[in-house]
Structure 1
Amino acid sequence: MDQREIYRLLEQVKSGKVSVEQAVLDLKEAPYQDIGYAKIDTHRGLRQGIPEVIYGAGKTADQIIGIVSKMLEHHQDHIMVTSIDSAKAKQVQQAVQNVPVHYHALANFLQIGDFPPDNGSGYVLVVTGGTSDLPVSEEAALTAQMLGNDVRRLYDVGVSGLHRLLDHMDDIMCARVIVAVAGMEGALASVVGGMADCPVVAVPTSVGYGASFGGVSALLSMLNSCASGVSVVNIDNGFGAGYLASMINHI
């Protein structure tokens, strides 16, 4: 749906020919933007409340630039590109003008536009087992920040030194939602879940020795958690965890 069609629809609402409810439905069902190698869902923000996010792995820098350009044309002020390496990110930074562009190397995360104001009902606490889990943790934290959340970080507090976690009980008890990120055996999610009265989003990481099976061990431990209120996303899926945590914090 282009600008002329939107104006036509709004004029019909103004004249009473189309109801407000029907107009909203028409906008939600508006078509995508087809640029050949990508079909950009420009109305996802209207339908779901959160605009489309670009997954950078497997895309060329030119493809990412093309997608970003179209999204900016449709007045998307906050754009995320996940799983993007520094070389591609640098090319995007050089191509995008008049908009702040920040590359967070640790998380392989490209931020286009400033962080929006916090408008959630509380804060999202991102808890991390060890420093090796930081790339996934930062992806979760940055995603939640880009979606308008107050995000607080509690890093390197894994169960091998439980006293480090217990020193931050107030942060855990007062959070609106917690993202627990851990590799190895993935026990952190169960421990946090047994302390918190809020939802816990568990993220298994691929960190660990051979028998961790690239994160499968942590994934199964988290799925089998005896703590209530723990949900689990895929291995290394910090983005998915941050997205879900934002949805919970905005209910």
Structure 2
Amino acid sequence: MSTADLGFARVDLDREDRQGLPEVVYGPGKTPAQVAAIVQTLLAHNTGPVLVTRVEAEPARAVLAEVPGGRYSPGARLLVWRPAPATAFTVAVAAAGTSDGPVAEEAAEVAAAVGFSVDTVTDVGVAGIHRLLAEADRLREADAVIVVAGMEGALASAVGGLVACPVIAVPTSTGYGAGLEGVTALLAMHASCAAGITVVNIDSGFGAAMAAFRLAQVLRRSR
């Protein structure tokens, strides 16, 4: 396995061969110059999409000045170069509330960047269950559903009971005191009576999209 030693980072050059996608860069804690150097290395040694997550607008502009050709999504805080063309694999992203929007947008933008067709369904939390039921057929058409919910996290169980496809649940830090900044939703999703739900880390829209990507990789190999 080969790496590129940049002094401040050892860039994994073979991840695309092993997993189907180049190493993804986590933006926080890195200077724009460091991010730019990593991105340039990944672009030079790989053919697939190059992503930088959790990057704010000002450093994103600085990185794009050094490495043109990328696109910045401010809501998702995501930089993307060389996005993959859309495939027939469809991911629905269902957000419980408007406050869950940034995490849902991260999931949707990452999913689109790695080549999924994305359908985003917003504000379908269980406090108004009719809103979810009205979109049930739309969710059933997806190959995977990413559910993004804070507070008590019940949307994941509700969706899990409505669809047959894989459900990937993202607890968010949205909510009041006893929500414990997403811990309550996290535990509720893990304890769901809807069997087989996958649960990722709090606020990790990126992690949910990558769980769907791994699933799609297996399906592609089996065809």
Short-chain TM bin = over 0.9
SS of 2:72's partner is strand
Superposed displacement of residue 146, structure 1? 1.2
Q: Give the alignment partner of residue 154 of structure 2, picking from 187, 194, 198.
A: 187
Q: Equivalent residue for 2:33?
A: 62
Take 1:144 and 1:88, find their aligned partners in 2: how far apart are those partners?
Answer: 23
Q: Give the alignment partner of residue 78 of structure 1, picking from 33, 43, 49.
A: 49
CA contact (8 A) 1:123 1:249 kept: no
CA contact (8 A) 1:124 1:249 kept: no
Q: Is 1:119 aligned to 2:90, yes or no?
A: no
Q: Is 1:89 aligned to 2:60, yes or no?
A: yes
Q: Equivalent residue for 2:203?
A: 236
Take 2:117 and 2:106, find their aligned partners in 1: how far apart are those partners?
Answer: 15
Q: Equivalent residue for 1:104?
A: 73
Flag the structure with larger Rg: 1
Cα deviation, 1:52-97, whole Å, max 9, x if unaligned, reads: 0000011111110110111122144421100111111010111113
Aligned-pair Cα RMSD in Å: 1.2
CA contact (8 A) 1:85 1:108 kept: yes
Q: Equivalent residue for 1:48?
A: 19
Question: Among the aligned pairs, what percent are the same residue?
Answer: 46
Matched AA of 2:99: S
Give the 4+ runs in structure 1 shifted more than 4 A.
none
Take 1:127 and 1:181, find their aligned partners in 2: how far apart are those partners?
Answer: 6
Superposed displacement of residue 171, structure 1? 1.2
Q: Is 1:175 aligned to 2:142, yes or no?
A: yes
Superposed displacement of residue 245, structure 1? 1.1
Take 2:43 and 2:153, find their aligned partners in 1: how far apart are those partners?
Answer: 39
Take 1:110 and 1:40, find their aligned partners in 2: how far apart are those partners?
Answer: 18
CA contact (8 A) 2:95 2:101 kept: yes
SS of 1:106's partner is coil
Q: Give the alignment partner of residue 201 of structure 1, picking from 161, 164, 168.
A: 168
Matched AA of 1:78: P
Cα deviation, 1:113-168, whole Å, max 9, x if unaligned, reads: 3x322235x31100000011111111111111111111110011111111111111
Which runs of no fewer than 5 residues in structure 2 stay unpaired? none
Take 1:105 and 1:87, find their aligned partners in 2: how far apart are those partners?
Answer: 10
> Could you tell me the TM-score, scaled by structure 1's length?
0.84
Take 1:241 and 1:105, find their aligned partners in 2: how far apart are those partners?
Answer: 19
CA contact (8 A) 1:177 1:249 kept: no
Cα deviation, 1:206-229, whole Å, max 9, x if unaligned, reads: 011111111000001100000012
Take 1:61 and 1:88, find their aligned partners in 2: how far apart are those partners?
Answer: 6
Matched AA of 1:112: W
